[in-house]
Amino acid sequence: MGPGDAELLTLKAMRVLRAAPVVAYPAPLKGSGLARQIVESVLSDGLYRIEIAMRMRFNLDRTSAQTAYDRGAAAIATHLAAGRDVAVLCEGDPLFFGSFAYILARLGDRFPVEIVPGVNSIAACSAVLQQPFALLNDRVVIIPASRPAAEIEDALVKAESTAILKVGRHWDKVVRVLDRLDLRRQAWHIERASQTGQQVRSLATVEATVERSSTYFSMILVYRRGERWLR
Amino acid sequence: MGPGDAELLTLKAMRVLRAAPVVAYPAPLKGSGLARQIVESVLSDGLYRIEIAMRMRFNLDRTSAQTAYDRGAAAIATHLAAGRDVAVLCEGDPLFFGSFAYILARLGDRFPVEIVPGVNSIAACSAVLQQPFALLNDRVVIIPASRPAAEIEDALVKAESTAILKVGRHWDKVVRVLDRLDLRRQAWHIERASQTGQQVRSLATVEATVERSSTYFSMILVYRRGERWLR
């Protein structure tokens, strides 16, 4: 479903979604969740659809999520077995850190699956920053902020561009690594790219010593290439 | 413009493209090039548009490309200065190994630019393979095949998923690295994902000793995670 802006849906996603009598999506315990929100305007076309909200706690313990995917997959399987197509909604690209992997793992062997690739959040962040994330022979590393500082440092040293995902409570660790490598001036923190509440900050201007946290829907992009991308 | 399938255009790309009186795109010396081909059905709507084909030799010597971008940027600037919006076409995502970076470098300081993120080729390849490229805390490396074997090996050892881009004449070097790490059974070679002529091969079944080459529009995806993505 893309990174959040409903206009970043593909024509294919739109067609598949409009034709499906059943839609399934991960959701928090209350409310509809981002994937469902993105397609609100598409699904409010007056056609009746069955909705399967796979409700889970979004936290580090994966038990709640696994149970929700188990139940969701069972409900989806019932509809598929009865001949009804099910569109499974997923933020960003379904196979790039996307929740669709869990449904695919449960049903991919038993039913025909069509996967519609989508715009990922790195593309959305790059567009906001108006900086090329990669070009020519660049090496790119994408690493969740939860990984050890040494791994993040190794990535930053070797890659022309690094995306540090899901910053959340790892903010301080990441900023310390950036300071050690003197890369703060080449780093940006982006929250909710293309969504309401989008926020961009240069790491150069953020106070180093202040304990900070950041939302889950955030990333830090680091460009070692500097101005060399110009030509 | 996405990876090739015209249905993978976003609604936003479609809107911007339909409204622009001028379109510019990189192209070979003869013919229209992939970016222009992707939007053929959109641009054949009967509306008159000025087209700027930035014609270049696609080879390792970047001189021809730089000249074409210089001239293209000058032509685009003339239209912008006259108040005509110009839509610049780009395959995949414009800032992820995309040619738009060269136009942005030449005009970004002088004119307002809106960047529409797109579906990249890794997403298209993942969708074809129906394998998650990344999930949870995975580390991902994206590395052009032109980089030294030692760097490709370092990536493969450390990342859960690796995309080796633009395989072309580097086929043999890459396969040797995969053999050294015993990763052939976890590697797939995808050409022209989502395009006419799409081809997928498991590296497990390709003969190691045969000197092979591959097209520029190709990549090898390697999954070290194996079956562990299932849960």
Q: Considering the domain boundaries, does residue B18 fall inside one?
A: yes
Q: Does residue A154 fall inside a structural domain?
A: yes
CB within 8 Å: A137 and B154: no
- The pair of structure tokens assigned to B102 is 């060269």
Contact between B119 and A144 using a beta-carbon 8 Å cutoff = no
Q: Is residue A1 part of a domain?
A: no
To the nearest whole Å, the CA of A101 is away from the closest chain B CA by 6
The phi, psi pair for A143, rounded to 5°, reads: -140, 130
Q: Are residues B149 and B176 in the same domain?
A: yes
Q: Report the gap between the CA of B212 and the closest CA in chain A (Å).
A: 21
Res B107 pLDDT > 60? yes
CATH of the domain at A224: 3.30.950.10
Are both B103 and B165 inside the same structural domain? Answer: no
Cα gap A202→A189, rounded to integer Å: 6
Condensed to tens digits (0 to 9), the pLDDT of residues B27-42 reads 999 999 999 999 999 8
Residue that finishes a domain, picked among A74, A107, A140:
A107
Which backbone phi and psi does B184 adopt, to 5 degrees? -60, -35
B113 in any annotated domain:
no
Domain termination site, one of B48, B82, B107 = B107
Show residues of chain A in contact with B2, CB under 8 Å: 10
Mutate: best of B115, B125, B166, B169, partner A, most A CBs <10 A: B115
ipTM of the complex: 0.94
DSSP string over B16-60 = HHHH-SEEEEEE-SSS--HHHHHTHHHH-SS---EEEEEE---SS
Query: Do A128 and A226 belong together in one domain?
Result: yes
Same domain, A126 and A186: yes
Least Cα distance to B111 among B11, B24, B34, B26 occurs for B24
A151 and A199 assigned to the same domain: yes
Same domain, B13 and B91: yes
Find the CATH number of the domain harbouring A69: 3.40.1010.10
Residue B145 lies in a domain: yes
Do residues B161 and B100 share a domain? no
Containing B164, the helix (H) or strand (E) segment is: strand B161-165
Domain count, chain A: 2
Cβ pairs A/B, distance under 8 A: 178
The Cα-based distances of A117 to A196, B9, B92 in angstroms read 23, 11, 11
Q: Which range of residues forms the domain containing residue A102?
A: 6-107
Tell me, yes or no, whether A116 lies in a domain.
no
Rounded to the nearest integer, the mean pLDDT of chain B is: 92
Tracing tokens 């001949």 back to the chain, one arrives at A83
Q: From the CA of A30, how many Å to the nearest CA of chain B? A: 23
Give a yes or no: residue B1 inside a domain: no
User: Which strand (E) or helix (H) includes residue A18?
Assistant: helix A11-19
Distances (CA, A) of A100 to A18, A29, A73, B147, B149: 19, 18, 11, 32, 33
pLDDT tens-place string over residues A159-201: 999 999 999 889 999 999 999 999 999 999 999 999 988 999 9
Could you report the per-residue pLDDT of A115-166, keeping only the tens digit for each?
999 999 999 999 999 999 999 899 999 999 999 999 999 999 999 999 999 9
A105 and B15 in contact by Cβ < 8 A? no
The answer to whether residue B116 is domain-embedded is no
Nearest Cα neighbor of A143 from A162, A161, A168 is A162
Q: How far is CA A193 from CA A4, A120, A124, A219, B68, in A?
A: 7, 10, 6, 9, 32
Domain-ending residue, one of A85, A107, A129: A107
Among A101, A137, A144, beta carbon nearest to B146: A137
Q: Are residues A139 and A96 in the same domain?
A: no
Mean pLDDT score, B155-184:
94
